Structure 1
Amino acid sequence: MSTITLEKNIQEQPFPLIDLDTIKKKKVNVAVFGHGTVGGRLIDQIITSQKEISRRRDLDLTIFAVANSKTVLLDKKGVKENWLEEKNEKGKAYTVESVIKFSEEHNLENLIAIDNTADPDFVLHYKKLVEGGFSLVSSNKIGNTIGLDFYRNLRKTLSEKKKEYLYETNVGAGLPLIDTIKLLHLSGENITRIKGVFSGSLSYIFNTFSESEKTFSEVLNQAIENGFTEPDPREDLCGNDVARKLLILARELDLHNELDDISIQNLIPKHLRSVSKSAFFKQMHELDVPFHIKRKNLAKDEVLRYIGDLHGDLSKEDGAVLNVNLVPVPKNSALGQLKGSDSIFEIYTESYGKNPIVIQGAGAGAAVTARGVFGDILRLSDKLD
């Protein structure tokens, strides 16, 4: 009897239909600083995905500012597919303060500033942006690897203003590495060591060189032609990029390290470090003999890998040892089996013992990095009101 009555009531008093188009979508406004290889890809990815993101996530993601070091394009309604052409025509000189002021004048909410530059000066604006109401997403490593005082002060400001700072692409391009280490550390897991191949460029170079008869300069030229290295490959070969990534992970574990604490094996002979780029390219063959000797001295079951290694007593703020070196590893190991330009990270913990957590995947490429930045934007959007 009760069931019949309920069905009758439902038929007589139907629930009102909800017009899904009237549901207010969360509005997130993004300012992109740096629209080169990574930044340009990111802008195109966001614009291409806007309708799908709106449909699937009830999220209205708008790029209201696109800037490089000289000019900015501002549009409160959001830039369109022809953003670069429009910026070339209408871009104006700007300051970070003027972008903040624009967001205030137009009452833009849920603000995110994206740093896709490699500019050491731009990171000095981070605090100003946070104080102006922005959360941060960055592919630029410098903000996490300059002085420890800056690092701490920025996090203090973020906490005070209740803003976020995401930078998953700082290490491992789009791999979920930093997030994994954060979760392990915050959960109380004692991480005892992190080691791996941190550079997609050097991964490709030594994966190829170790298993071929080619000279080192031939392999390096191949890597340059394929776009795996920086325009000046010495930026990869000097080891500083790997060192910065290692330092970022150390600081995630609350270790009090600076870049100067890291022992780095620079792969560039001293006499080639300060010459012009064109001179380096002409003399690149001088690398062939020393690297041929390194390959010749390998055991039969070994290959060369350029490895970052964070170890020591990681329970102490000053107990870490940080090394960046070219070393032989067994071919049948996880590091030795690496292919292409992949990166690989081994995370050793007290609970897992001798069996590390292994994270491996594409470690280089503008599209991969841009997609990783996009992922940070979406994660951050979920946290915003």
Structure 2
Amino acid sequence: MMSTQNVFIIGATGNVGSELFHQIELFDKPELGKHQNPTRIIGIADSQSYFFTEAGIHVANLDSTTLNSHDWMCKRIKGLLMCQGKPFGNSGLEELLHQVRFNGLDGEVIFIDATTGGQELLEFHKAVIKTSANSIVTANKNPVALSTMDDFQTLTADRHRYGMRSTIMAGADTVVDIMDFYDTSDHIESIEGCFSGSLGYICSMLEDGDAVFSQILREALEDGLTEPDPRDDLNGLDVARKLVIIARCLNFPVCIEDVSVNSFIDLEKYESVRSVEEFLEATKQEDEYFANLLTSARNDGKKLRYVGRIKIEEKNIKMSLGLELLDPDSSLATLRGAKNKITIFSAIHRNGYMIEADGAGAEVTANGIRRDLLPMLQHRRCGMYSI
């Protein structure tokens, strides 16, 4: 018997949300024969409105020739919300829960948070987990990193109802493996890693020496490798949130203020700069600094990386991050482009347990969300394997 998985994408018009819609439309079809559990998109929402239909939302018949038509898909979703979307009422996002209950689907829907929202999204996550039988998959770090530890434990207590692998390394195994380490009582002693695909890309391009910092930063933004405002990457807080999530998965009641953060560049001197374009222009004054830093690093045989570190001693935890000059034989020094890598040292894995994967980009993040959906299938069955 076929079991359909119903999903409701919040943030469907953003880069990750629209790419997720695209991948589901293209790949999650029973007629492909890979599995018997098609994913059905029954709702989409942006910050202003939502569209819900129990029959499922389809915007086009896609084939392999439209695999890279992400921009086209984003426009179609925006058009659908504009023409058929319903504005949010006074209850805000909880109106989505009301729609699900009204249509008799409570417990049969997975809400996907593909936004960068804060308190409003946290409250919605809590409402889903505490007042309904539905589930959540999130790529949004804020509800699990900027909330209280009590809220974190409330959201994540049932591993099968709350998926958050895409909050770190764009959906690689970091979150899942860290939880497994905790659940199997393998004591983690330290973790070191490069957790930012955007900052890793900048470091790699600086080392190549073909472009100056301000040019590299602009190209990273244009290629979708940074946040819409790259200052959200350069201030280090995005990485700090990831360290908080890891520490909380290990049951340490930490918050963002517990992370010692050294930003990629000194952003205080840009406090008066408003727009992103003005900021990009202003960063030209950083070009000479990084040119000199890289010259010095090359002379000393070092590699520049933005590194996060977690050190655990008994019941105490220390978290820090910042630019480091590493020996070339360091495992982190070998990273190129937007790759992320972490090494976990534990009582069992004394020589290091390594995870390496792409750490940025809408395509890999959307795929990470789809991987988080798989364990939530009620009756996951494969179809006919084919070559």
Alignment TM class, shorter chain as reference: 0.7 to 0.9
In the aligned structure 2, how far is the partner of 1:294 from the partner of 1:143?
Answer: 37
In the aligned structure 2, how far is the partner of 1:295 from the partner of 1:54?
Answer: 50
Q: 1:44, CA displacement in angstroms?
A: 1.7
Q: 1:33-112 maps to which residues of 2 (within 5 A)?
A: 33-35=10-12, 36-52=14-30, 55-82=33-60, 84=77, 85-94=79-88, 95-108=92-105, 109-112=107-110
Letter of the 1:74 counterpart: F
**Is structure 2 residue 364 aligned with structure 1 residue 368?**
yes
Contact 1:211–1:303, Cα closer than 8 Å, also in 2: no
Query: Which residue number corresponds to residue 353 of structure 2?
Result: 357
Q: 1:213, CA displacement in angstroms?
A: 5.9
Q: 1:275-286 maps to which residues of 2 (within 5 A)?
A: 275-277=273-275, 278-286=277-285
Deviations 1:194-216 (A, max 9, x none): 11110000001011213426432
Contact 2:11–2:45, Cα closer than 8 Å, also in 1: yes
Q: In the superposition, relative to structure 1, how do residues 383 and 346 fare at CA in structure 2: closer, same or farther (>3 Å)?
A: farther
Q: In the superposition, relative to structure 1, how do residues 221 and 99 fare at CA in structure 2: closer, same or farther (>3 Å)?
A: closer
Query: Which residue number corresponds to residue 184 of structure 1?
Result: 181
Q: 1:162-181 maps to which residues of 2 (within 5 A)?
A: 164-181=161-178
Contact 2:264–2:322, Cα closer than 8 Å, also in 1: no
SS of the equivalent of 1:39 reads helix
Q: 1:347, CA displacement in angstroms?
A: 0.8
In terms of mean alpha carbon deviation, does 194-203 or 223-232 score higher?
Answer: 223-232
Contact 2:3–2:379, Cα closer than 8 Å, also in 1: no
Give 5+ residue unaligned stretches, structure 1.
1-23
Q: 1:191-340 maps to which residues of 2 (within 5 A)?
A: 191-212=188-209, 214-269=211-266, 270-277=268-275, 278-298=277-297, 299-313=299-313, 315-316=314-315, 319-340=316-337
Letter of the 1:70 counterpart: Q
Q: 1:281, CA displacement in angstroms?
A: 2.1
**TM-score, normalised relative to structure 2:** 0.85
- How many residue pairs match? The answer is 354
Query: Which residue number corresponds to residue 123 of structure 2?
Result: 124
Q: 1:72, CA displacement in angstroms?
A: 0.7
Q: In the superposition, relative to structure 1, how do residues 217 and 97 fare at CA in structure 2: closer, same or farther (>3 Å)?
A: closer
SS of the equivalent of 2:169 reads coil
Q: In the superposition, relative to structure 1, how do residues 381 and 280 fare at CA in structure 2: closer, same or farther (>3 Å)?
A: same
Q: 1:241, CA displacement in angstroms?
A: 0.4
Query: Which residue number corresponds to residue 71 of structure 2?
Result: none
Deviations 1:250-306 (A, max 9, x none): 111111211001010023332113421333222211112332332233253211100
Contact 1:54–1:61, Cα closer than 8 Å, also in 2: no
Q: In the superposition, relative to structure 1, how do residues 213 and 86 fare at CA in structure 2: closer, same or farther (>3 Å)?
A: closer
- The alignment yields a C-alpha RMSD, in angstroms, of 2.2
Q: 1:363, CA displacement in angstroms?
A: 0.8
Query: Which residue number corresponds to residue 154 of structure 1?
Result: 155
Q: 1:49, CA displacement in angstroms?
A: 2.3
SS of the equivalent of 2:206 reads helix
In terms of mean alpha carbon deviation, does 236-245 or 54-63 score higher?
Answer: 54-63
Percent identity between the aligned chains? 28
SS of the equivalent of 1:281 reads helix
Contact 2:172–2:357, Cα closer than 8 Å, also in 1: yes
In the aligned structure 2, how far is the partner of 1:87 from the partner of 1:220?
Answer: 33
Contact 1:173–1:362, Cα closer than 8 Å, also in 2: yes
Give 5+ residue unaligned stretches, structure 2.
61-75, 381-387
SS of the equivalent of 1:140 reads coil
In the aligned structure 2, how far is the partner of 1:119 from the partner of 1:374?
Answer: 20
Letter of the 1:116 counterpart: A
In the aligned structure 1, how far is the partner of 2:244 from the partner of 2:178?
Answer: 13
Deviations 1:227-250 (A, max 9, x none): 322232211111000100111111
**Is structure 2 residue 8 aligned with structure 1 residue 31?**
yes
Q: In the superposition, relative to structure 1, how do residues 28 and 358 fare at CA in structure 2: closer, same or farther (>3 Å)?
A: same
In the aligned structure 1, how far is the partner of 2:379 from the partner of 2:237?
Answer: 33
**Is structure 2 residue 90 aligned with structure 1 residue 113?**
no
SS of the equivalent of 1:309 reads strand
Contact 1:27–1:110, Cα closer than 8 Å, also in 2: no
In the aligned structure 2, how far is the partner of 1:53 from the partner of 1:206?
Answer: 44
Contact 1:305–1:328, Cα closer than 8 Å, also in 2: yes
Letter of the 2:303 counterpart: V
Q: 1:382, CA displacement in angstroms?
A: 4.5
